[in-house]
Amino acid sequence: MAKRKYKRKSKKKKQFNRNRLYLFLLAIFVLLILYFNIDKIINLTKGISNSRVKVNQIYQDRTVLDALIHTKILLGVPDENFSHRVSDEAIYVSLGIDRDEMDLNYANMILSGQVEIANGKVLAGKELQNGNKQVLDIVDQDDKQAYEVTLYYAKLTTTKSKKTQLAIVVDDFGIHNDALLEKFCSLDKNITFAILPDQKFSELVMYRAADTGHESMIHIPMEPISYPQNNPGKNAIYVHQTVREITRKMKRFIKQLPLCIGANNHMGSLVTTDENVMQIVLQVIKENNLFFIDSRTSNSSIAFDVAKRMMIPTFKSSIFLDTPDVSQKTMKIKLDQLKALAKSRDKILVITHCATEERYEYLKEFIIRVNKLDFEIIPVSKIFENNLPEIM
């Protein structure tokens, strides 16, 4: 027995030595390959290094003026709204911004990011003309060149060559499940339904809208200035509520209506003027990748501006179609308002309501008449298709 064990050990030792020999020969082979190809490897490394130098050189050669011209392109500023003048003191640059596309603060952030990439620095800034103009003092840190950049709201001077896009939102769905709902579902698939959460038929309307090809939004109930005379509901957002309460409600609304791709405010003439409360609401909206429509139930609403600063896809309503009534006189007034707005805007959003048969007939006729004019009815999601540039 002892002899058999010895023989087995001897075989294992020979196998181990053979493996070590193979590894040694493999190492010699690899070293030989490296030795005979070392020049190629060095040249390849140099090529990568040179490539990086060229990329870095591009950024090093880019001046602040180049960055400002690139900003013009990013913001879509037409040539007639961009100018620059060189003097002994500084280079003066002006960029005219379309108020309907973005606010000056947003344009300022994009511009500042581009300036920093070109190794420039914003030294100071000031607002003029009640916020309609911003002036920035900038220096190019490479050549110490001074710049004075003016951002301002420009009047549109270009002639429109295409139809004005019109988004129509119908508010207050969720309360009824009857023939009237089916009539609204039979209308143009491009109109968008805004559904009140926590109503008896909220979820049913959401699925019915999806079945008939209509987009839907969460119609967030919010406290109005006239509360308690006008009550948005027991589960509404109120200005006295805590961060935790508001966040919990918003998350529950979104969970309850998972097919909704955006949100707008129901009432809310008080909440939409409170920046702190709107930041809480919009933070949940942003985290869930929804868009936000400011229904503009108050002329003092700051909801649209806050959403824009938070980089949330947002738009604001221009007209309530069925206010003060649904008469033919009112329809003529609303159509005239739309035609006036279309002279300076490519996109308009309007709101109406689903409460009565009369409102259905009114909207049905309104759609027929709009289609005969120079408008294209679109779902709300399409209003965000021309995305603004990311802030660097």
Question: Residue 154: pLDDT above 70?
Answer: yes
220 confidence band (pLDDT: 50, 70, 90): very high
**107 shares a domain with 255:** no
* Inter-residue long-range contacts of 75-79, CB under 8 Å, 24+ positions, other chains counted: 75/102, 75/107, 75/110, 75/111, 75/388, 75/389, 76/101, 77/154, 78/157, 78/158
The answer to whether 278 and 272 have CB atoms below 8 angstroms apart is yes
Question: Residue 176: pLDDT above 70?
Answer: yes
d(CA 283, CA 288): 9
The reply to whether 4 falls in a domain is no
Q: In which domain, by residue range, is 341 found?
A: 164-384
**169 shares a domain with 137:** no
**213 shares a domain with 119:** no
Question: Residue 380: pLDDT above 70?
Answer: yes
**145 shares a domain with 171:** no
**Strand-strand pairing, 291-294 and 314-316:** parallel
Closest C-alpha to 170, from 237, 207, 215: 215
Reported as a single tens digit per residue, the pLDDT across 53-103 is 333 333 445 788 888 988 888 887 887 888 888 888 999 999 999 887 788
**178 shares a domain with 144:** no
Which CATH number goes with the domain that contains 246? 3.20.20.370
The answer to whether 92 and 116 have CB atoms below 8 angstroms apart is no
pLDDT of residue 252: 98
**272 shares a domain with 131:** no
pLDDT of residue 218: 98
Which CATH number goes with the domain that contains 79? 3.30.460.10
| Residue of higher predicted confidence among 110 and 202 | 202
d(CA 82, CA 93): 7
Amino acid at 389: P
Whole-Å CA distances, 265 to 14, 132, 296, 303, 309: 82, 27, 8, 9, 18
**265 shares a domain with 174:** yes
51 confidence band (pLDDT: 50, 70, 90): very low
Q: Phi and psi at residue 190, in whole multiples of 5°?
A: -85, -5
Question: Residue 32: pLDDT above 80?
Answer: no
**112 shares a domain with 186:** no
Q: What is the 3-state secondary structure (H, E, C) of 260-281?
A: CCEEEEEECCCHHHCHHHHHHH
Closest C-alpha to 95, from 138, 134, 139: 134
11 confidence band (pLDDT: 50, 70, 90): low
The answer to whether 63 and 118 have CB atoms below 8 angstroms apart is yes
**81 shares a domain with 174:** no
Q: Is 65 exposed, middle or buried (0-12, 13-18, 19+ CB in 10 A)?
A: middle
**175 shares a domain with 229:** yes
Question: Residue 115: pLDDT above 80?
Answer: yes
Whole-Å CA distances, 251 to 74, 237, 248, 287: 35, 12, 5, 10
